[in-house]
Structures are given as C-alpha cells and as structure tokens.
Amino acid sequence: MTPELQEKIGNLVKNHKILVFMKGNKLMPQCGFSNNVVQILNTLGVPYETIDVLADSEIRQGIKEYSNWPTIPQLYIDGQLIGGSDIAIELYQKGELQQMVEVALAS
C-alpha cells in the first residue's frame, strides 16, 4: 500500500466517529453482510458514514491491508476497527454496540 493511500484511509477513519467500509452505500447496500451492518446502525439511530469500496478499487484492497482484516464490510467506531457483519451483530445483540456508539458520539 502506498503511503498516500495509507494516509487517505487513516484520515477517513479518524474524521468520522462511525464509519463503514462496505459494498454499496447506506441507501443501497450491495451485499447482505453490508446490509446487516447498515440495518443495525439504522436501528440504533446514530449518524454514520459509509465508503463504497466498489467505487474505488484502491480503497477496496487498501482497507484490507490497513486493517489487516480480509473481509468487507468493516465497521470503525472512534477510529478503531470493530469488525465485520458477524461481530457487529453479536455486539448489537449483547447491547455492547449501543454503548460503544454512545461513548464515541459523546467524546
């Protein structure tokens, strides 16, 4: 990964409290796993941003290297990788995702 791409992704992650790198966008997810994360965040009623990896092949590959996480979607809260769809579902069901989001938005 180029230093420029690393910086670009790093800035995206830092500049958004809640960010999802996904296939599609929050209005039109392009895969079921991305849709799961969008539905959870919509249910929580929190502001969040999405980056469509299908629109930018450099970011699509780069985010996997940046996070050392092989799959999409990737959910970031307060600059930290939370994980993909399965982890988001599990944290949501335990009530932990709500807490993480509230702490991030309060900071």
pLDDT of 97: 97
How many structural domains compose the chain?
1
pLDDT of 1: 86
Helices 32-44 and 96-106: angle between axes, nearest 10 degrees: 60
Percentage above 70 pLDDT, the chain: 100
Q: What is the mean pLDDT of the chain?
A: 96
For residue 66, give its domain range: 3-106
The DSSP string of 40-83 is HHHHHT---EEEEGGG-HHHHHHHHHHHT--SS-EEEETTEEEE
CATH number, domain of 45, equals 3.40.30.10
pLDDT band for position 107 (cuts 50, 70, 90): confident
